[in-house]
Structure formats: C-alpha cells, structure tokens
Structure 1
Amino acid sequence: MNNKLKGLLAVILLSFLGWYFLLKQSDYTITFKVNAATGTISQGIVEWSATQSKKQNETYSILEKRNFDFIKQQMKKGNEELEYTWDMKSINDSMTKVTIGIKDLNHSFYNRLTAPFISTKFRTEQIEKIKSFKLGLEDHIGDFKIRIDGEGSSKEMYVAYISLKSVLQEKAQTMLEYDPKIIGYLDKNKIKIIGYRPYLEITGWDEDKEIVNFNYCFPIPKDTKYIPDSNVKFKIIPALKGIQATYFGNYRTSDRAWFTLLDYAKKNDIKIENKPLEHFLANPFNGGSELEWETKIIIPFAKK
C-alpha cells in the first residue's frame, strides 16, 4: 500500500471518527414502522411523555418541534439527562417510519463506544422504553379506523353555532361542556335541529401550540329567525371542495383523520387550507361500539 493511499485512508478514518464522536447527534438509534400518520405519532409522543412524567418521575421538555414530523425533547430524572430526537417520515397513505436518536448527555462518549455494538444497560433500557411506547401506540391505533375517500365536497348549510377554543386534545370535551348551552338555546326558542348531527368547523389551527379555534354547529332551517344570545350565533357554512376521509371511533381522537389527510395531501402535492370540517353522524349518547361512530371529515383545497 503506497503512502498516498495510506494517507487517504487515515483522513477518511479521522473524518469518520470526528463525525462519530463530535458531530453525530445521537449515541444510539432505534427505528420502527407503524401504521399511523405522522401527526398521530407526534400526538402519541406528547401523551407518552406526560404519562412517563407521572409514572416514572421523568421530566420532558420540547427543545425543537417541526410540523408533525420532528420532535426533539430533553428528559431529566435525578442525575440522568437524555435527549430524544424523533423523526417521522410518511412512507405511504398509512405507514410511517419512525427514527429515534437517543443521546445521554452525561455518558455520551462511553455509549457511542459500546451501545451500537454490545448489549449495555443503557441500550437495553432504551430498547425496552421505545418498545413500550410502540406497543401503546399500536393499542391506540386499534381504537379507530380511517378511510381516505379522496376528493369530495360538502353541502352549504345554515347553522346555529358557538365559537370555542381549546387545545387539540380537548376539543371533544370542550364541545360537551358547551353542548347544554346551544341545545338549551335551541330548545328554549323552539328551533328545529335538522338531523341532530352536529358539525365542527375549524376556523384557526396553531399547529405549534396545538390550539384550535372552532365553531360547534347545528344545522337549522334557513328561515329561522335569530333571537339574540351572548353565545349562540347563526351563519351559513359554504359548500367546500377538498380531500375527504371517513373516521370511525371516539370523537375525542377524530383529529387522527386530519393528520392522515395532511400526510395524504403532502405526498400527493395537494395544496390545502388546514381548516377541517367534521360532520358527526352518530350520537355517542346512544352507546354502542365506538368503532361504529362515523364522522365525515373534509379539509378544503387552498384558495387560488
């Protein structure tokens, strides 16, 4: 082997070692695939972190978040400090690849020397931890079904509505809290509800803070005379064209269909306005299997 080749190999080796020990973001990486949208997984990470905080006394803080496909968080427990970098990449309409980079801020050099090559305490604990997350996520996914219907449209409707605001995870609970107000108003004023199948109209969605502004709506006859009220208003929801899905499951997690449509739009280069319209076709107070509760969801095309 001549000196030039030896020198080149030395440079390559030193460059690799420099990258591996100084620049590489993680000590150990775990990858898996799951039948869920990137947003569903992102929500799962947030909820899992909250559970870990309660059950394992682990404190999680988000260092960086990008849309619904990237989360970097720090975990602290006693003297232990770890960073988890979650990267979600949609493979197709239903499958997502999840890559988790894990870094021990106090023992990074040792873990890089050992964890990728031999079974260490750090490696075993992290594999079990991520495996537990994946099993919990798969259990959650089993609680609902989503069917992408492709392009669709909604009908124009005249509605009575209340404007509300909540974090994304509590939209259904917020609707239930205000249900007596709007139903009480309609009953008191003898206003007919057409079909008793309400709509939820998203008017604003802060994806970073996961806060939604929305109207909780009930269809009523167009000739209904408005009786002034501090909460309830009347309006026309125009007909919409967009991409549509059918969701079967508890209304609390109907946003899982939103995430599925977002991934579908991104993959198919469809420009949409992130303001879903949900039409609930079942009454949860009637009981029955949640997998039979049907919701039609449409996200409108972006305005040209």
Structure 2
Amino acid sequence: MYKISEFSKITNLTIKTLYYYDKEKILEPFSRDENGHRLYNEDNFKQAKLIKTLRYLDFSISEMKEVVANCQSQDDLFYYLLEKKKNILDDIKKKEGLIEYIDLYLNKEINEEEREEHYCFKLVEIEEKMVLSYRYKGKYSDVGKYIDQIHKVGKDNITGNSFCLYYDYGFEDEAEIEVCIPVSKKIKTYNSIEFKVIPSVKGVKTNHIGSYESIYRAYKNIIDYCNKNNYIMKTPTREVHIKGPGKNFKGNPKKYITEIIIPIGEEDGKEI
C-alpha cells in the first residue's frame, strides 16, 4: 500500500491532482486507513499509468472516466485509441476547412460586404404540375437523399428539375419540407413517396447563382423586393434546382443555380 504522498512521487501526479481524480471517480484509492487517509495499491498504479497516457493523448476528463471504468485489457484500450484517433482526424479536417474559409475571407474572395450581387425579379404564374413527392420534417441537408429516392421511382417518367416546397415561416432546425419531381403521368408509388398535383401559383421569382449556404442573400433581396412593392408573401416558398450537385460529384458550388419563387397574393398558404 502507498500513502498519497508516496503514490504522488511514484506516479508523478500531484497530490492536488490525485484529490481531483478521486472526487471525479477517475482514480479512487483502494482503501483508507483508520484516520481516513487515502491508500493506493498496485492496481491503482496501473490505472495511474493509463490515466497519464490518456491525458498526454488529450482525452477529456469525461473521456478518461469512461475509458478507466470500462478498459479491462489492452484489446479494450486499442478500440478506445482507434476511436479517439478518428475523432482527432475529424477535428483536424474540420479545422482545415475553417482555415480554408478564413483564407477566402482574407483574400476577399467571398467578402459579402465587398461583393455586389444583382438579382432580377419577375412576376410569374407557375402552372400546376404532376409530381412525385416526399414530405418530411427534418434537416435541409436530407433533401438530396430524398431526391435520389424519388428518381428511383420516377425513372423515365421524370419531366423536369426537382424542387422543394418549404412550409415554414423562416429558417428552422427541423424544417417542414416537400421534395418534388415533375412526372409525365400517374405512377404507382411506395416508401411514403406519393403522386400528386401541385396547384398553380402566382409568385415572384429570382435566380441565385452560388452555393446553398449563400442562398440567404437571394432571400434577402427577394423579400426586400416584395416588401417594397407591398406584396403579401405566402408559404410554401419554392426552390427549383436548375443546376446543383451531381449524383457522384458535387461540382463547383459557385456555379449552382437555384430558382426561388415566393407565392404572393391571396392564395392558400401561411403569410410570411
């Protein structure tokens, strides 16, 4: 058995650190003497070596607690280290993306204050369309997945670009979205994909050229235009994918083209 002062010397962990690890239940002493002083044994020494390794490898307190509680062998440790390595690589990739984005700002390639964009607006009457659709509540990033699913059902009967109807007032973490693809005839459907007719709608249209992440700029301009002209804006707003990522490659996001249509007037729908 080792007193805490002795254990501190043989592990190179300060007494203050040992108190903290005991409190956090990362490294609890084997027992206490009659005076309540902490006593450590050889198993504690092995735990201390593991904890020092984990600390050196930048494991958080929470992570260390989980590993120490569940690591019974070198094989167990192998899997924890493998997972930690993956997390570190993911973090590096994320930070490299942030560095690249910062460089773009420094080079003034995407400085929104200096970049002047011109949007043209047009009053349109969109005809009713036969479509295959999938309506869901979830993430905007899931749109591509459902477009692929609808394509598999529609096959040679598809007649136009996919588009999305957005039923919410604004931007949401969990959005109500209907993914649609025009078709030439009624088709037998499955997997919650349905055939329907989207009614005609009158609206204001503009085109956004650029990534989906920057599409908010188009919305600002089209909403400003509608407000200036005292149009009553309605949902669902519509985004038509004129040019976007392909099935296998995303391509150049700067060249994506998205047609945005905001319904106006007294048509059915919630007022924006």
TM-score (norm 1): 0.45
Structure with more relative contact order (C-alpha pairs < 8 Å, separation 6 or more): 1
Give the structure with the higher percent strand.
1
Pick the structure with greater CA Rg. Answer: 2
